[in-house]
Amino acid sequence: MEILSMDAMVVPMLMCNQWKIHSKFTHAINLTNGKDLISITTNNRYLSPGGIRVNVENFDFLDMKFFDDVCVNHQKLILNNAEFLNISPQIYSSYLKPNTCELNWIDVVSHKNALRDWLIHQSKHSASVDWIKNSVSTDLVDAWVHQKLITFEECVNQNHISICSILGAGHGLTPTGDDVLCGYLAIYHYLNQDSMIKSVKQQLLEISPHATTDISKNMIFYAVNGYFSDVYRDLIKALFHGGELEDAAENCVSVGHTSGIDFMCGVLKALENISNKKGEDYGKTNTHL
Amino acid sequence: MEKRTLIYKNRYVDSVSLMSLGSKVKKEEGIIEAVVAMATDMNKEILALVGLATDESTDASANDLLIAVVAEELSQLEAAFELIESSLASSGGKTKGKDSSKVYRQIEQVIEDDIKPTVAIISIPGKYAARETKKALKYGMDVLIFSDNMTIEEEVEVKTLAAHQHQLVMGPDCGTAVIGGVGLCFANEVTRGDIGIVAASGTGAQEVMVQIDRLGGGITDVIGTGGRDLHISVGGLMMLEGLRRLEEDEQTKVIVCVSKPPANEVKNKILQRVKQINKPVVICFLGNKEVVTDEGNIHYASSLFEAAKIAVELSTNQSIEVKHEDQDLTLYEEVKGKYAVGLYCGGTLCYEALDQLGKNFEVKSNLGHGEQEYQKNDESVHILLDLGDDEYTNGRPHPMIEPTLRNDKILEYAQRNEVGVVLLDFELGYGSHNDPVGETILTIMEAKKLAANNQRTLAFVGYVCGTNKDKQGYERSVNALKSAGVLVAKSNLEACQLVSSLVGGSTHE
C-alpha cells in the first residue's frame, strides 16, 4: 500500500513523536501520541487536517491491535503487519486562510440564504437541522441537543461563546454539538473574529477530560487553530466568494453520518449571527468587516 | 417497564453504524426509548435526567460507547440487546454469528466463493459503472445498472458486449425490472402470469404491470432497458435482446413493448424484429404522433392503460369492458377554465399526461420540447412537472423515495389564483416510500384550506400506481386520498381525463 498524500503538518509530527494505533474504521485508522491524532484515510475520503491518504478503498481487510507501536521511517509507516510505503506523497495544507479581501455582503447573505434553504430541504435528520428548522424531534438525545444548541445560540448572540453548553452533545463519534462548534469556528476564523477564537481556546484548556471523544477533541483542536477538511474549506470559499455552493454542500454531507450537516448548520448560524450585526448595511453598499 | 444501560469500553463504531443502530433498535417491537451515543459528559447528563444512568455509565469515559434501552417487557429488552450485539459484531468487520449473509466488496470475491449469481445490480458512481458491468458480464451475469452518469460510449460498449453473449444490460439509469418473479429497484408486487414486458421507461413499466394485474392478467418478466436504449447510437440493443428473451421464454405468451417514440431507424429495426416473433406483441410508443394500425402480430396502444388492456385481452382471449367510476364533479364547477398543475414523481407517467393533455390544451412541462418546454416563470398555462428529473433531485432523494419533497411545490401552486386542479401520482411497491399518500395527505388538506381561505376551490386529482399486494396497500392508499377529498383515478390515463373534464376539455375519449 502506498501513501498518496499527507497534510504538511503531519510530516514533522511523524518524525518527532511515538505513535500508537488508536482506532480503526472502514475508511480511517487513527494514530495517537497520547495528545494528538493523525488520521490515515482511504483514497475515497476527503482530505482531513492531520491526515494521511493511502491508495486503498477500505481498511476492512486489516486486523489491528490497538495501542501497538507504529514504526515510522522515511520509507514507510508500519502498523502491525500493514506497511504503507512513503514514496513521494503529495503534500497538502488543511489551513483555511483567513479572509483578507473586501466581501460583497449582498452576495454572502444570498449564499447564506441558499445554504439555509438547502439544509432545510436535504433529507438527513439531525438535531442541528431541527434547530435550523425550528422543529422538534421525538428522539430523546436529539431533542436534548436541540435545547443545548438554542442555549448556545442565545449566548453567542450576546457575544459570549460558551462551548461547555454543547461540547460532546449528541450522537456520533464527533457529537453534533462539536461539529456545530467547528462550523462556528470556521466562520470566526475566516472572518478574523479573534476574540471569539481566543475565548474558545481558553475554554478548551479547562474542559473535563470526558467532555467529548478523543477524535472530536482533536477535530476541535484543529478547528480552533484554523485547520479544516478540504470539503469544509470549499464550502467557506463558495459562501464568501461564489462558486458551486450546492456541490460544496453535497460534498460536506459525505463527512460522517451527520457531521457535515451539523458543521454546515454551525456555519449558517455563525454567519447569521455576524451578518445580523451588519444587517442594515446590505442594501446600501458592499461592506466588509 | 424494563430498562438496561450498558457501556462498551473503548469501543469505536463509525457514526453511520452508530446512528443506524439507534434507529434500528427503536423500530423493534416494545422498545420505548433507545440511546446509542458516546459516553461524553453531556450525553451522560441526559441519561441521568431520564433515569437511565447507572454507576457504570457515570464512570464511563468519552471514548466508551453507551447504550441504554427501555422496553415494555424483559424479553423485548433482551431481543434488543441481542440485535445490538450482532450489529456491533458485524460493524467491526467480523463475521456475523447466526446470520449466514455475507458482505462482499468485489464481484471476484463472490465468484471465488463459488456462488453463481444470475443478476448483478450496479449502484455506484456512474464513472465506475461500466468497469463493474464488464466484470459482471464476464462472469455470466445479467446486469441492472441503477447508476446514471455513464457515458453513451460506455453504454454502447457494454451493451454490444452483452448482446454478443446474449446477456442483458438493463440501464444505465434503469429503475424497474422484474426477473424471475423478483422485483428489482422500483417494482410492484404483481400476479405471475404469461405477459412479458420490455420497457425503456421505469414508471411506464410499473403502470403497465399494475394495470395488467388489476385487469386480471399476470406477469412473467419485466425487462428494463434504460431510457437511452432506443437512442440512435445505442440502436435498441437491449430492447432487441429483451424481445429475444421473452420470445424464447415458454411462460411468456404475450409481449408488451413500452417506450417513448424511438428514432425512425431504431423503430424500424425493432418492428422488423417484432414481426419475426411468433407471439402477439403490444407496442406502446408513448407520444407517437404517427397514425398506426395493427399489423400481423403487432398491436398498437396509445396509452399505458390501453397497452395493459390489450395484453390482458390477448392473454385471456376475452375482451374487457372498461367501466369508469362516475365522479361527482359538481363541487368543482368553479375550476372550469382554470389551469391544472401536475406534480409527478413518475417521469413516464408525467410524459403520458403531457401526451394526453397536450392533445386538448396548451401544456408546458420540463419533459416538453419546443412549444411545450416549461420555463420557470410560466403561468396561465397548464403545467406538468416531473419532479424526479435531475434539476429537482440533484443531491436529494428521488420523490418516489421521499415524497415530502413534493409538498412545498403543492403548497406553492395551491396559492396561485389561476390554478384550479392539482394532479398527483403516488407510486407504491418495492423501493418506494413506505407511505407516499400518508406523507402528502396533510399537505393536500392544508392546500385546500389555503385556497378556501382565499375564496377559491381547488380540486385534487390523484392516481395511485400500485396493487393491493404492494407493502403500502393500494386500497388503503386510495381510501386515504378519498377521505381527504381527492378525486382518485384508476389509471394515469383516467386521471388525465378527469383533469380534462374539470378544467373544461373533453371527457372520456
Residues facing A2 on adjacent strands: A85
Domain assignment present for B508: no
Domain assignment present for B353: yes
Residue in B3, B11, B12 to test binding to A, most A beta-carbons within 10 Å: B12
Nearest residue in chain B measured CA to CA from A25? B14
**pLDDT value of position A9:** 86
Contacts B27 to A, Cβ<8 Å: none
> How many CB contacts within 8 angstroms connect chain A with chain B?
117
Residue in A171, A206, A246 to test binding to B, most B beta-carbons within 10 Å: A171
User: A20 touching B, CB under 8 A?
Assistant: no
Domain that holds residue B74: 2-91
Q: Are B134 and B158 in contact (CB under 8 A)?
A: yes
Query: CA–CA separation, A40 vs A107, rounded Å?
Result: 37
Query: CA–CA separation, B194 vs B239, rounded Å?
Result: 19
Query: CA–CA separation, B99 vs B102, rounded Å?
Result: 8
* pLDDT 10s digits, A277-286: 654 343 333 3
Q: What's the burial of B38, exposed, middle or buried (CB within 10 Å: 0-12/13-18/19+)?
A: buried
**One domain, residues B345 and B489:** yes
**One domain, residues B355 and B461:** yes
3-state secondary structure B249-274: CCCCCEEEEEECCCCHHHHHHHHHHH
**What ipTM, to 2 d.p.?**
0.75
- A147-151, A269-273, B93-97: lowest mean pLDDT where? B93-97
**One domain, residues B491 and B423:** yes
Closest Cβ–Cβ partner in B15, B42, B396 for A259: B15
**One domain, residues B388 and B494:** yes
Contacts A216 to B, Cβ<8 Å: 62
Domain assignment present for B499: yes
Using the 3D structure, point to which of B276, B295, B322 is the last residue of a domain. Answer: B322
**One domain, residues B142 and B218:** no
Q: Are B187 and B282 in contact (CB under 8 A)?
A: no
Q: To the nearest whole angstrom, how far is the Cα of A164 from the nearest Cα of chain B?
A: 9
Q: What's the burial of B11, exposed, middle or buried (CB within 10 Å: 0-12/13-18/19+)?
A: middle
User: What would the grid cell of residue A14 be?
Assistant: 511523524
Contact A60 B105 (CB under 8 A): yes
Domain assignment present for B124: yes
**One domain, residues B188 and B167:** no
Query: CA–CA separation, A19 vs A39, rounded Å?
Result: 11
User: B27 touching A, CB under 8 A?
Assistant: no
Q: What angle do CA B456, B459, B465 make, to 5 degrees?
A: 160
User: B62 touching A, CB under 8 A?
Assistant: yes
**pLDDT value of position A285:** 35
Query: CA–CA separation, B177 vs B118, rounded Å?
Result: 14
**One domain, residues B291 and B364:** no
User: A168 touching B, CB under 8 A?
Assistant: yes
**pLDDT value of position A148:** 92
**One domain, residues B342 and B316:** no
Residue B6 phi, psi (nearest 5) = -120, 150
Query: CA–CA separation, B368 vs B354, rounded Å?
Result: 8
User: B180 touching A, CB under 8 A?
Assistant: no
Residue B472 phi, psi (nearest 5) = -80, -20
* pLDDT 10s digits, A10-57: 888 887 768 888 888 888 899 988 888 999 999 888 898 999 999 988
* pLDDT 10s digits, A186-233: 999 999 988 899 999 999 988 888 899 989 999 999 999 999 999 999
Select from A148, A205, A169 the least CA-distant residue to B44. Answer: A169
Q: To the nearest whole angstrom, how far is the Cα of A274 from the nearest Cα of chain B?
A: 27
Domain assignment present for B42: yes
* pLDDT 10s digits, A227-259: 999 999 999 999 998 878 989 999 998 888 899
CA distance between the termini of chain B = 62
**pLDDT value of position A69:** 81
Q: Are A288 and A278 in contact (CB under 8 A)?
A: no
Contacts B61 to A, Cβ<8 Å: 209-210
Residues facing B343 on adjacent strands: B385, B424
Nearest residue in chain B measured CA to CA from A208? B41
Residue B335 sits in a domain whose CATH number is 3.40.50.261
**One domain, residues B318 and B338:** no
Q: Are A199 and A159 in contact (CB under 8 A)?
A: no
Kindly provide the b/e burial profile for residues A243-280, where b requires at least 16 CB atoms within 10 angstroms of the residue's own CB: eebeebbbbbbebbbbbbbbbbbbbbbbbbbbbeeeee
Contact A257 B41 (CB under 8 A): no
User: What would the grid cell of residue A48 be?
Assistant: 482531513
Cut 0.95: pTM above it:
no
Q: In what order do the strands lie in the sheet with B2-8?
A: B2-8, B65-71, B31-38
Contact B37 A209 (CB under 8 A): no
Residue B132 sits in a domain whose CATH number is 3.40.50.720
User: B40 touching A, CB under 8 A?
Assistant: yes
B 268-297 residues inside an 8 A Cβ radius of A: none
**pLDDT value of position B429:** 93
**pLDDT value of position B456:** 94
User: B18 touching A, CB under 8 A?
Assistant: yes
Using the 3D structure, point to which of B144, B173, B202 is the last residue of a domain. Answer: B173
**pLDDT value of position B16:** 66
Residue in B17, B42, B45, B401 to test binding to A, most A beta-carbons within 10 Å: B42
User: A211 touching B, CB under 8 A?
Assistant: yes
Q: Are strands B298-300 and B281-285 parallel, antiparallel or unpaired?
A: parallel
Contact A167 B18 (CB under 8 A): no
Residues facing A33 on adjacent strands: none
| DSSP-assigned states of every residue in A98-139 | PP-SPP-HHHHHHHHHHHHHHHHHSS---HHHHHHHT---SS
Give the Å distances, CA to CA, from B130 to A13, B166, B433.
42, 18, 29
Q: H-type helices in B235-327, by residue range?
A: 237-248, 264-275, 304-316
Give the Å distances, CA to CA, from B23 to B26, B37, B97, B430.
5, 12, 21, 21
Contact B38 A213 (CB under 8 A): yes
**One domain, residues B34 and B128:** no
Residue B73 sits in a domain whose CATH number is 3.30.70.60
Q: Which DSSP symbol is given to B94?
A: P
Domain assignment present for B269: yes
Number of domains comprising chain B: 4
Query: CA–CA separation, B427 vs B431, rounded Å?
Result: 10
**pLDDT value of position B394:** 63
Domain assignment present for B509: no
**One domain, residues B241 and B343:** no
Contacts B397 to A, Cβ<8 Å: 123
A 173-192 residues inside an 8 A Cβ radius of B: 173-175, 177
User: B112 touching A, CB under 8 A?
Assistant: no
Question: Helix, strand, or coil here: B135?
Answer: helix
Give the H or E element holding residue B32: strand B31-38
Using the 3D structure, point to which of B37, B63, B91 is the last residue of a domain. Answer: B91
Nearest residue in chain A measured CA to CA from B63? A213
**One domain, residues B356 and B480:** yes
Contact B16 A257 (CB under 8 A): yes
**pLDDT value of position B490:** 96
Domain assignment present for B86: yes
User: A249 touching B, CB under 8 A?
Assistant: yes
Residue ranges of E strands in A15-57:
20-24, 28-32, 37-41, 51-54
**pLDDT tens, N- to C-terminus, chain B (509 residues):** 888 888 887 777 766 677 777 778 887 888 888 888 888 888 888 888 778 888 888 888 888 888 989 888 888 888 888 888 888 776 543 333 334 456 676 788 888 888 889 999 998 777 788 999 999 999 999 999 988 888 999 999 999 999 999 999 999 989 899 999 899 989 999 999 999 999 998 999 999 999 999 999 999 999 999 999 999 999 999 999 999 999 999 999 999 999 988 988 999 999 999 999 999 999 999 988 887 889 999 999 999 999 999 999 999 999 999 887 778 888 899 999 999 999 999 999 999 999 999 999 999 999 999 999 998 888 889 999 999 887 887 656 788 888 877 998 999 999 999 999 999 999 999 888 888 998 898 899 999 999 999 999 999 999 999 999 998 889 989 998 998 899 999 999 999 999 999 998 544 43
* pLDDT 10s digits, A90-117: 899 999 999 888 888 888 888 889 999 9
B 76-95 residues inside an 8 A Cβ radius of A: 93
Give the H or E element holding residue B287: none
